[in-house]
Amino acid sequence: MSAPRDPGTPGLAPTASGTSPTAHPDAPPSAPATAPPTSTAPWRRLDPRTLLVHCGWMGAPLASLALTALATGGRITTGAWITLAAIAASFAVVTTLGLIRWARTEFRVTADTLEVRSGLLNRRLRSVPLRRIRTVDLTASPLHRLLGVTVLRAGTAGSGDGGSELSLEALTVAEADRLRAELLARAEAEGAADDPVVARISWRWLRYAPLTFWVVGGVFVVAGSVYRALDGMGIEPWKLGFVQRAFAEFGASALWLTVPAALLVVLALGSVGAIALYVENWWHYSLEWTDARSLRVRRGLFTTRSVTIEGTRLRGVLLREPLLLRAGGGALVRAVAGGLGNREENRKRSGLLPPAPRTEALRVASGALRAAFPEAEPLTGHPRAALRRRRTRGLLFVVVPGAAVLAGLGVAFTPVLLHCAWIYAAVTTPVVWWLARDAYRSLGHGIRGAYLVARSGTFSRDTLALQRSAIAAWTFSTSPFTRRSGLVTLTAAVAAGEDGYRVRDLAAEAAPGFAAAVTPGLLDEFLVHRQG
Amino acid sequence: MPEPATPLLRPPRHRVDPRARRWWTLQALLTLSGPMLLIALVMAVLSILFFPGALPWLGPLLLVVLVVPAVGYLLVMPRWRYAVHAWELGGRAVYAAGGWFWQKRRIAPLSRVQTVDTVRGPLQRRYGLATVTVTTASTAGDIKIAGLSDADAEELSRRIGEAAQDVPGDAA
């Protein structure tokens, strides 16, 4: 990007690592008041403890080996020796590579760029203008925390290709905090907000933790992982005596009692797991404006996470109400912000509020927007065709296939399944009808001041408030079915969050007018006015 | 409608090059229709050679599952696409329509344009065609205009490049 600079130029003040002294209360007073020439900022190294972190991968195989040794009564088999040798060899290779990488990776902050150079043979210099840095994220895994280091990631604006991120692994916590301040110095305070703290954790919110769909699924995922781990250690659970006994007794006793009991156990386990996850993810949670322009989320028990979003990169807020959580009167809040990484990373980092009471969620959403979350007034509804579409889809994808399969099997094998078929149809049809109705009632869109507001969904009712000025493109999507029923789905492209946000199933004749009203002037030359 | 006039989105002004139909046909033949027809042929031949008894039910099955969809796709898709695909460079925005069964019309302001790529694939080169991709900071805002003639593509990418420079940008 930029020409490599001479790194050998002696620095003026060795401890003044940054070059904007105003951002550094800890900068020595001898630092010059004006920004020094950019090439004089000294190169800095990562923390050597990084090397230890890289050895962390050995934990799992070593532990598994130890367990195997325990299970076999201390006898180490030939296979185990081979594994041990492989681990030792990998350790040597990884440590050598890590040492080289550590020795050859340097970074510095100049007046307007963050520069990282790395590589053994191909020296690579990457420099990112500070003004393009959108978020700074400090993440420390338990291992990192044990060693007192943390990983710093600086996310920049980019075309969502994932290649627009610089990560420094790893720095001491103090160093990382200082570097974050330097990187975000551009967003220097113009005056503190009235109340910088938007929200803190309240453990009464824990009651919302089990209200997710993953309660039951999580139990099976964990069971599967445990099974695989045991299998990897050479233990076959199905051959253990007590498992077989329990299984035999389970089958022999009264099923009407044991099946619900087993379900209850799964639910209880799932709830405990959900609460544990909630605690691990949201321990010490706080959301605050660190200065007038940076919003910071801090959370985490074992893995601590601190995500700082520069205010100008915060393009909107998403209020999510998954079905169960909504039934319990709760909601959660996510940020729509640029530079949080790819879809998966964005999902992990964009959380502004865990499942919490809806009023709290609205308050936090408003706090993040620094304007009332535009939800109070009713939104413009969508045409009835959207309701028909939802019903048809439900019937076509849920009721008909299930009933058809059951009926087919019934005709082929046993008439009992024929009864199952009509019972299935009779039960699922009202459920589908209700869900379709609910999904239709969720649909809505409108313009509230500087924000586009759109709501949709039943399994997760999402209300989006998106800055109108952030919209980078409009897409009108149709299929033959929606064209016939006069509907169109409008997608607003933004360089933030999930990139595209949809307003589903608008009336086809209302959509262009709405899009034109949201972004005045953009569509005008492509519109024709029909006398109506 | 309460308003006297409802604004409607008109299709973009310019159609893509007519040769695009042949390109899409060839593409369909190579990717979907060709393999499907080939599988049907092989199965029919195998059936005639080794299981002549299966032909009475296998024949119609192959016809319905493989041959008719393959031929239908080959005949319908290129024409349908040609009717839909269109593009226009306005004073403030690029506007493109694409797709066939599922259709998309996308409008991106020139001020957000980051790069303009012109790509000519091996099949496209045969027909003297090109695809122009206009990228913005958001992946949901990238515009792809496929099936332009070489000259049009060059002209378009040049004009978009110029226009994007004239309009004060906030692409970063």
- The answer to whether residues B72 and B108 belong to one domain is no
Dist CA A278 CA A273 (whole Å): 9
Asked, for residue B149, whether it belongs to a domain, the answer is yes
Residue B133 shares a structural domain with residue B145? yes
**For testing the chain A interface, which of B95, B107, B144 should be mutated: the one with the most A CBs within 10 Å?**
B107
State whether B110 and B127 are in the same domain.
Answer: yes
* Residue B6 domain-assigned (yes or no): no
Which two structure tokens, joined as six digits, stand for B139?
């992946």
Closest to A372 in 3D by CA, of A319, A322, A327, A325: A319
pLDDT tens digits, one per residue of A296-349: 999 988 888 899 888 888 999 999 999 989 998 999 999 999 878 788 888 888
Q: What is the pLDDT of residues B69-119, one digit of tens each?
A: 999 999 999 999 999 999 999 888 999 999 999 999 999 998 888 888 898
Q: How many domains does chain B have?
A: 2
Domain boundaries along the sequence of chain A:
208-282, 286-380+443-526, 384-442
Q: Which of A161, A472, A521 comes nearest B136 by C-beta? A: A472
Element (H, E) at A294: strand A294-299
* Residue B50 touches chain A, beta carbons under 8 Å: no
Tell me, yes or no, whether B28 lies in a domain.
yes
- Residue at which a domain ends, from B82, B102, B136: B82
Chain B: closest CA distance from residue A163 (Å): 13
**In-domain check, residue B35:** yes
Name A308's Cβ contacts closer than 8 Å, sequence gap at least 6: A135, A136, A137, A180, A184, A290, A294, A295, A296
The whole-angstrom separation of Cα A104 and Cα A86 is 27
**Domain check: are B130 and B68 in the same one?**
no
Asked whether the predicted pLDDT for residue A251 surpasses 80, the reply is: no
B154 and A CB contact within 8 Å: no
Residue A514 · residue A506 · CB < 8 Å: yes
- As a whole number of angstroms, the distance between CA A281 and CA B6 comes to 49
Q: Among candidates A478, A474, A434, which has minimal Cα distance to A454?
A: A474
The percent of residues above 70 in pLDDT, for chain A, comes to: 85
Q: Mean pLDDT across the stretch A114-141?
A: 79
Calculate mean pLDDT across residues A5-23: 37
Q: Is residue B69 part of a domain?
A: yes
Which residue range forms the structural domain that includes residue B33? 16-82
User: Could you tell me which residues come within 8 angstroms of residue B55 by beta carbon, excluding any fewer than 6 positions away?
Assistant: B44, B47, B48
d(CA B57, nearest CA chain A) in Å? 20
Is residue B106 within 8 Å of residue B96, measured between CB atoms?
yes
Residue numbers in B near A157 (CB within 8 A): 137, 172
How is residue A479 annotated by DSSP? -
The Cα–Cα gap between A210 and A214 comes to 8
Q: Residue B9 falls within a domain, yes or no?
A: no
The answer, yes or no, to whether residue B4 has pLDDT greater than 80, is no
Is residue B5 in some structural domain? no
Report the gap between the CA of A296 and the closest CA in chain B (Å): 23
| pLDDT value of position A195 | 57
What order do you get walking across the sheet with B115-119 strand by strand? B115-119, B129-135, B143-149
Residue A256 has pLDDT above 80, yes or no: no
Please tell me whether residue B132 adopts helix, strand or coil conformation.
Answer: strand
- The shortest CB-CB distance from B112 to any of A473, A511, A530 is to A473
Both structure tokens of B112: 């957000």
Q: Is A521 helix (H, G, I), strand (E, B) or coil?
A: coil
Residue B168 forms contact with A (CB below 8 Å): no
**Which pLDDT value is given to residue A74?**
67
Q: Which residue, chain included where needed, has tokens 């957000």?
A: B112
Residue A437 pLDDT > 80, yes or no? yes
Rg from Cα positions in chain B: 22
Q: Are residues B76 and B95 in the same domain?
A: no
Choose the final residue of a domain: B34, B65, B82.
B82
Confidence label for A39 from pLDDT (cuts 50, 70 and 90): low
Segment A55-74 shows an average pLDDT of: 75
pLDDT tens digits along A170-224: 888 888 888 888 777 654 443 334 457 788 888 889 889 888 767 777 788 888 8
The pLDDT of residue A138: 85
CATH of the domain at B142: 2.30.29.30
Token digits for A423?
Answer: 């019972």
The CA distance from A61 to A83, in Å, is 8
- As a whole-number percent, the residues of chain A with pLDDT over 90 amount to 28
Establish if B171 belongs to a structural domain. no
DSSP A379-428: PB---HHHHHHHHHHHIIIIIHHHHHHHHHHHHHT-HHHHHHHHHHHHHH
Return the residue of A nearest to B93 by Cα. A522
Question: What values do phi and psi take at A135, rounded to 5?
Answer: -140, 150
d(CA A309, CA A452): 21
Q: Does the beta carbon of B5 lie under 8 angstroms from any beta carbon of chain A?
A: yes
Token pair in block for residue A136 = 């700074």
Considering the domain architecture, whether residues B58 and B116 belong to the same structural domain is answered as no
Torsion of CA A237, A238, A241, A245, to 10 degrees: 130
Do B71 and B114 sit in the same domain of this protein?
no
Residues of chain B neighbouring A128 (CB-CB closer than 8 A): none
Query: Model confidence over B142-162: pLDDT tens digits?
Result: 999 999 999 999 999 888 888
Q: Angle at the Cα of A266 (from A262 to A272), degrees rounded to 5?
A: 140
C-alpha angle A316/A527/A488, rounded to 5°?
55
- Report residue A510: phi and psi, to 5°: -90, -25
Task: Choose the final residue of a domain: B82, B110, B132.
Answer: B82
A189 φ, ψ (degrees, to nearest 5): -60, 140
Which range of A116-120, A416-420, B99-103 scores highest in mean pLDDT? It is B99-103
Query: With an 8 Å Cβ cutoff, are A480 and B101 in contact?
Result: yes
